[in-house]
Structure 1
Amino acid sequence: MAKVAIVGSGAMGSVYAGLMVSAGHEVHAISLWPDHVAAMQENGLRVEGASGDRTVPIHASTTTAGIGVCDLVIIATKAFDVEAAARSCEQLLGPNSVVQTIQNGLGSAEKAAAILGENRIAVGVVGGFGASIRAPGHAHHNGMEMIRFGAYRGLPKEDLEQSAEIWRSSGFKVAIFDDIDRMVWEKLIMNVAFSGTTCATGMTIGEVMGNPNAWSVAKGAAEEAIAVAKAAGIHLDVADPIEHIRKLGSKIPNARPSMLLDYNLRRRGEVDAINGSISREGRKYGVPTPVNDTVVGIIKAREAGFTD
């Protein structure tokens, strides 16, 4: 049994937590949403969907205080909350603790490493789950794809492997990558295609793929990301990246990416970390990114006036 803290137990974090508790691990779910925490404390955490339907007892709180040293700390917050989350994790770390950052977009591992140390950090990439919160204390997910991890800088391989085994024991498929840039960018092109486009249109992933106008935006955004990756010297190990995106999207046609879910709840989304990262990297390498620039502008205009 491992002791795990999941900092940022929203939709995806709750799926991780529920399956890990089912496997016998001691899991602490940390969320800043008081109603979600109260529901988990009172009734347990319900996770249903592709993995089945279970309700598990869980340690839930709005703070990391009093939890103590953990074997594994998973930072599953939004990208813009990673620095604050990393600071809250300092008291959870012992000599062999591993911290896994699992965010959309670029830059989260760097932020966490600056606070917690490069030799503690594993970079995680997750896709194909299509998770959402149905009600406080109740998470749903549409799929269950592979979890990918790689050591950031200096994390011992044996520590990375031990942390991955916690996931495997909980029913997740796990792959370890040496090339974390490739790993992150292969997920990023998928996010770039669907996150901004679904948010801007209100469509599901399947609806975007089935609508010629929406798909032209998604495809254009992805093509820009692929061009930026090439300019940055990043090798994408997929024969046809656009077909790769369509294949992954077809597995979760009813999914609404988190950026759309956040918009529907009038909350700030991660467009800066996803489509915005392509615009920033494009400027760095001299690659035009008009589709992503436009998607970012539309979504930020729509979010104007939202509270964080």
Structure 2
Amino acid sequence: MTDKQSFVPKTFAVIGAGPVGCIVSAFLAKGGHEVVLCDVVPDLLEPATKRGIIIEGAENMTQTVSHTCTSIDALPGYNPDVIFVTVKANALPLIASAIEGFHNKGLYVVSWQNGIDTELVLANSLGREAVMRAVVNYGCGLAGPAHVKIPFHHPPHYIQELNPESAGAARGIAQALTDCGLTTRHTDNIIAMVWRKGVLNACMNPVCAVTGLTMSQAMNDPIIFNIVDALVKECVKVARANEILLGWEYYPNAIEYMRNAGNHKPSMLMDIENGRRTEIDYINGKFVEYGRRSGIETPYNITLQSLVKGLESRL
């Protein structure tokens, strides 16, 4: 096995050919790495090895990947050093079970996703030594198969191992991503970072999903803004009750960040528009869960989670 302190990954698998997976696949391939992109929908994969993945907006490129496949069970044939999981969090139990079927020591799995505690679902099946968590700072949407619009990209991205023994491997993965243009830093503060982003997702995603508004429209509507504002304050209260350090100026910074998000449809709104299940249970549902643990009432999060669940029930 490669020494974790000098881990230099060469071959990557990316599970999920949505916008997040397409972006990391394209950058890794541009950096000269062998990349296999995996998704159960063949139509999403077909352009990736022929025309190439198209990225437009804050970043612009067209890049082919080495391989595609439609089954996680096929991934061992490519002998990946690292697997990035970029699917919606609601698919994680099935994904973790599938990887568990062939996982071996020295293969690292990175949760490159939105949501709180996604890495724990993977670790429950694969063990903490194998699993890492990342926080990704780009906004994106799928314009078509292997065609991504990326309205904003605010590097660096961050990654941390769950087990300290895998810190060297995490640094190696961060370096590989940085070298290919996705500037990524190793951190020892990933949980706080996940929650900081989680609050933003919990305030924007469900509000836009329920109203059909873009982020800019929601923030500039005085009535809708009151809901967003109440959600931010409720989420911050839950975080503090669970000793998650968001930072003393988190509230004003969060409001400013969302005001500058632009006329962008968040992923949850796009999921509802396209008849897909959302990640609501790993976003607002987690604030409800952690609120109950610490005795904090979460009426706004419960309401938004319930409304999105109601929309999902029609799908």
Q: What band does the TM-score fall into relative to the shorter chain?
A: over 0.9
Aligned to 1:184: 194
Percent identity over the alignment is: 25
Spell out, residue by residue over 1:75-115, the C-alpha distance to the aligned partner (whole angstroms, 9 max, x if none). Answer: 11111111211233346655332211122222211110111
Cα displacement (A) at 1:150:
1.3
- Conserved in 2, the CA contact under 8 Å of 1:44 and 1:58? no
- Conserved in 2, the CA contact under 8 Å of 1:69 and 1:94? no
Cα displacement (A) at 1:19:
1.3
Aligned to 2:168: 158
- Structure 2: tracts of 5 or more residues without a match: 1-8
* 2:309 maps to 1:297: no
Cα displacement (A) at 1:195:
0.8
Spell out, residue by residue over 1:193-221, the C-alpha distance to the aligned partner (whole angstroms, 9 max, x if none). Answer: 11111111111111111111111111211
Q: Secondary structure at the match of 2:246?
A: coil
Q: Which amino acid aligns with 1:273?
A: Y
**For residues 13-92 of structure 1, what are the structure 2 equivalents within 5 Å?**
13-64=21-72, 65-66=74-75, 67-90=77-100
- Conserved in 2, the CA contact under 8 Å of 1:121 and 1:155? no
Aligned to 2:214: 204
* Partner of residue 253 from structure 1, selected from 262, 271, 278: 262
- Conserved in 2, the CA contact under 8 Å of 1:282 and 1:289? yes
- Conserved in 2, the CA contact under 8 Å of 1:69 and 1:93? no
Aligned to 2:177: 167
* 2:148 maps to 1:118: no
Distance 1:90-1:166 versus aligned 2 partners, 3 A rule: farther
Work out the CA distance in 2 between the residues paired with 1:281 and 1:57.
Answer: 40
Work out the CA distance in 2 between the residues paired with 1:185 and 1:113.
Answer: 19
Q: Secondary structure at the match of 1:208?
A: helix
Runs of 4+ in 1 over 3 A off after TM superposition: 90-95
- Conserved in 1, the CA contact under 8 Å of 2:209 and 2:272? yes
Work out the CA distance in 2 between the residues paired with 1:92 and 1:199.
Answer: 37
Q: Which amino acid aligns with 1:60?
A: T
**For residues 232-271 of structure 1, what are the structure 2 equivalents within 5 Å?**
232-237=242-247, 239-271=248-280
Distance 1:286-1:96 versus aligned 2 partners, 3 A rule: same
Cα displacement (A) at 1:250:
4.2
Q: TM-score, normalised by structure 1?
A: 0.92
Q: TM-score, normalised by structure 2?
A: 0.90
Q: How many residues are paired up?
A: 304
- Conserved in 1, the CA contact under 8 Å of 2:134 and 2:159? yes
* 2:18 maps to 1:10: yes
Distance 1:155-1:5 versus aligned 2 partners, 3 A rule: farther
Distance 1:57-1:173 versus aligned 2 partners, 3 A rule: closer
| Aligned-pair Cα RMSD in Å | 1.8
Work out the CA distance in 2 between the residues paired with 1:46 and 1:90.
Answer: 32
